[in-house]
Amino acid sequence: MSPLSFLMLVICVFSLFLLVRLARGLSILLIFSQNYFLVSLIFSVDFLFSSSLISALILIISFLLLTLDVICSFFF
pLDDT tens profile 14-62: 777 777 777 777 776 677 677 777 777 777 787 788 778 878 887 888 7
Cα-flanking dihedrals φ and ψ of residue 44, to 5°? -65, -40
Each domain of the chain, given as residue ranges in start order, spans 3-75
pLDDT of 67 higher than 80: yes
The better pLDDT of the pair 8, 61 is held by: 61
Confidence of residue 1 (pLDDT cuts 50, 70, 90): low
DSSP letters, 24-58, are HHHHHHHHH-S-HHHHHHHHHHHHHHHHHHHHHHH
* pLDDT for res 2: 67
